[in-house]
Structure 1
């Protein structure tokens, strides 16, 4: 997330429009990357300040790892552009929370595409007050560098992380081994390995 702060001067007051984009070094939009602003117009009081938040989204299977976020602002007083270079970490983080019974909340029967060479992280975000370790069960992931996590798993706020290796086009599933919550084959989240 990027915070965009706009400040008026010289007695200016009124609406300021904010637009965003993300481009590569040649100025071409980065495929699949998006940047959205939560407030496309901020209204300033005389010489006042307004803010908006721009959120950059990078697909889990993106080939690009760097780009430039461009922010253009315009008002009756004129326009201005600023930019910020960004670098993706080449990792995909799957956050696993808990329900009131202390069971895993899985993202559902979704498929997440992950490129070979990407770090895959399963983060224990259990909300229980009792320390709870989480063990991630992985079925069919060993050939892709993601074997079943050994017991006792990983503690709250920690991650089980592995780097995706193997063959593009393969898919494996995962769920919570401990505390146990297996939704069955049809309901398990999946990881699809891509190039």
Structure 2
């Protein structure tokens, strides 16, 4: 990529966000579908349209729809939890209105939560075999520790698995619907939580 004077400068790919700051304060540029960022002279830029000839000479033609947002913050991007803000911006919850009916849930209810804040849940799905749920998450701040997943009621066991949902390692501690597992810096973990009945 070249600027107006013809000089080359790097464009870096990034999913969901990029940040410009000095450690004391800064801002993150969040977006939902564009991945080319660069900064020059303390200006952060996001490429909205391109006209490449390879690998797809028709890329970015036609009508385009995208959104982006500025997230100003104190501290650096890790302290500001920019990774979480990027996920929240890209995967917003959808509310569905239903007719009044009886039910067993309280007025306020959390299906699942993950702690600490430097761990992000990226996938939750029904297990391929038997009655269980698969949770996939990763640590993004370079910190070791224990991750705690508050899971739906009634879990009977939990195990670390590989990407194919095959058990790897010993059983994990499950207490009061909280699964605890050790996590290392930048590690991706997959956990299967088993239930005696269909979830």
Q: Same fold per TM (> 0.5)?
A: no
**Scaled by the length of structure 1, what TM-score is found?**
0.30
Higher relative contact order (CA 8 A, sep 6+): 1
Q: Which has the higher strand share?
A: 1
